[in-house]
A and B are shown apart, each in its own frame.
Chain A
Amino acid sequence: MAQKRLMQGNEAVAEGAIAAGMTFFAGYPITPASEVLQYLVRRPEVRAIQFEDEISSVCALVGASLAGAKAMTATSGPGFSLMQEGIGLGHMMETPFVIVDVQRVGPSTGMPTLPAQGDVMQAAYGSHGDYFPIVFYPNSVQELYEYTIHAFNAAEESQSPVILLSDGYLGHLYETIEMKRNARLRKRKRPPLGVGGRHFTGLTSVDNTPTPQNPEAHRRMIARLQAKQRKVGARYAHYEYISNRKADTLVVCFGSLSRAVMPLADRYAIFRPILLYPPIEEFSEIAKRYKKVVVVEMNAGQYVRVVQRLMRRTALSLPMIGGDLDVLRLEERLKWITTAS
């Protein structure tokens, strides 16, 4: 049974989280993500708390998750920056929860109401040290709903914080979606707090005991975490690929910007990763079929580095910064970059 509803992107995230079994939400108001918190405080099945900042919000998720809750927060760039230490803690303590980042133009306060994709790098490398997050970036209200559920499942499977990227355009976009009932949900592997004898720490540790000066233990831990994240990430290697035998150029795009690229499928082949990290390995095979690869993104060129690493060759970077999703300008610039190079 599926129910159809007209819904805003941020609301779809909230509904997806409820469908995924979320019971705890902590957040701080920020444009353009506030609607998630506003929507959830009205839902009796969720304990939604407005905290004093994003630091406390993400740390409350760590506590609530260890206490057994499926937990989530939603924020935008400035808040996402503040959350990085809590994300690192979540990876170290192997605590599942979901962070939604509705991106806006940065750095700093930037242009709060306009969309951007400037947190693509921060989503994977924002916290200090080595960690290997699973990061999704849908491109429609329907997908926001579905990938919020996937994000919760991936968090449980990997026992780690999973990041769902959105942007100011998607978050405020209204579309009709189908809300699938009875989605397959992953259960918590670890018994909640109240067992005894377990120590959850940000320190490198072995068997519940910190070992802060044991390089071998640290190497083993990082190798185990990396292997686990890769394994779970591979189960969610979702992408959209529109092949084009006549085209010599493959355009890589994601999120709201990909909606503007899709109408150009007559001229270009299009690859849209929905899972941004761990990067989708199959891409390297797909890219071989095209002479040129253009990565178009609403930042100065972030994911292009990931794409180049996957292909082991140079890609063209087409930055579309400034927060204005101008389809004609995009078309013009794509034409220019593919003919000029």
Chain B
Amino acid sequence: MDYDSFLRTDRLPTSWCAGCGNGTVLRAIIEAAHRLGWDASNTVAVSGIGCSGRTAGYFSFDSIHAVHGRAVPVAEGIKLHRPELNVILVSGDGDLCGIGGNHLLHAARRDTNLNVVLVDNEIYGMTGGQTAPTTPLGTKTITAPDGAWEKPFNVQGVIKAHGAFYARSTTWHVRHLAKCLDAAFRHPGFAFVDAKSQCTSNYGRRLGYRTAYDMLEHFKTAYRINDGAQTLADDEIGITA
């Protein structure tokens, strides 16, 4: 397939660090969109703020880079006015679960037909490595030098509580991630894909991972696929029922 036709090639290389997981997610989204025949005439990309918030701008679709936390309501405005447009929203855990958490749960409740891809690296990467809502309990960050003391945000719970589509995958499990995206894009209501991703520069290296590959290997060993489960356990990935 022709990846370039989905990309703003004039903007490459991306602003992302070597070893970042954002590119893997971007590629998987392009493949899923290609399979469904989505193109610039019928598709719009939306992002919020952060490293993954830059994703929208690399698509050749018309794209919107909203203010921090507000990608979801901007996307809802588009979809409510023009239901025939496919809306792909890519943003990070800080943007979607932190500052934008309220919008996320209400969009799930309204069941607006959005395709939301969370690039979850468990950290505020762009701003230097501060604690994120998804940072695991006890993990050390530059704003939690003694380890994160709050329970991480239960994004699966928030989405599933309102009966919306929820799938989880990782940047190691690229084929599984593609399957999740495909199912999400075909889902007629609010669809959410939680893509666990690696940040090496401002997260992994401080936790003892030497390379991006080390972080991917962690995904490989830490998660097992359990498609069709009602609820995923913390060490499971899959498309939930």
Contacts and interface: CB of A to CB of B under 8 A. Distances in A.
Interface in A314-328: none
B70 to A, nearest CB: 4
A61 B77 CA distance: 6
A67 B63 contact: no
B102 interface: yes
A86 interface: yes
B61 interface: yes
Interface residues of A, number: 43
A86 B67 contact: yes
Given A24-B80, A89-B66, A196 B73 contact: no
A62 interface: yes
A67 B73 contact: no
Contacts of B80: 24, 47, 49, 60, 64
Interface stretch (B22-30, B39-47, B138-146, B169-177): B39-47
B78 A59 contact: no
A263 interface: no
B81 A67 contact: yes
Contact of A55 (B60, B70, B81): B70
Number of chain B interface residues as a range: 35 or more
A197 B80 CA distance: 22
A110 interface: no
Contacts of A24: 77, 80-81
Interface stretch (A36-44, A180-188, A202-210): A202-210
A193 B74 contact: no
A199 B8 contact: yes
Contact of B106 (A52, A68, A195, A201): A52
Interface string B71-91: 011111111111001000000
B54 to A, nearest CB: 8
Given A51-B106, A198-B62, A202-B65, A64 B8 contact: no
Interface in A10-47: 23-24, 26, 47
B33 to A, nearest CB: 13
Contact of B77 (A64, A85, A200): A64
Contact of B103 (A52, A68, A201): A52
A55 B40 CA distance: 28
26 contacts: A51-B106, A52-B106, A55-B73, A56-B70, A56-B72, A60-B74, A60-B77, A62-B66, A62-B77, A63-B46, A64-B78, A66-B78, A67-B85, A68-B82, A69-B77, A88-B67, A93-B64, A193-B44, A193-B85, A195-B41, A196-B41, A199-B63, A200-B63, A208-B8, A209-B11, A210-B65
9 nearest A-B residue pairs (beta carbon): A196-B40, A63-B77, A60-B77, A56-B73, A201-B65, A64-B77, A59-B73, A63-B74, A63-B78
